Amino acid sequence: MTPDDPETVRGDCSFCGETVTGRHALLHYETTDGDPGVWAECPSCGEIVDPTDAQ
C-alpha cells in the first residue's frame, strides 16, 4: 500500500491504542528534518493524535 492509501496503517492512538489509518488523517506535514508527519482523528475515542508517536 502507498502512504496515500486510506487503508495504510499510520500507527496507534496514544489515548486508547486503536489503530489509526490514512482514512483518519486530518493534516499531513513535513518536519524540519524532512520527515513526513500526520495528525489524525482516532476512529474509536475521537482524540486528535500523532499516531506515529505510539510506534
Q: Looking up cell 492509501, which residue turns up?
A: 5
pLDDT at 1: 43
**Cβ atoms within 10 Å of 33's Cβ, excluding its own:** 5
Question: Is residue 2 in a domain?
Answer: no
Element (H, E) at 11: strand 9-12
Cell 482514512: give the residue: 23
pLDDT digits (tens, 9 = 90+) for 1-55: 455 688 889 999 999 999 999 999 999 999 999 988 899 999 999 999 999 765 4
Q: Is 38 within the bounds of a domain?
A: yes
d(CA 1, CA 14): 23
Domain assignment present for 19: yes
pLDDT at 5: 80
Per-residue pLDDT, 55: 46
Give the distance from CA 38 to its chain's centroid: 5
The pLDDT score that the predictor gives to residue 45 is: 97
Q: What is the domain extent for residue 25? A: 9-54
Please report whether residue 1 resides in a domain.
Answer: no
Total domain count for the chain?
Answer: 1
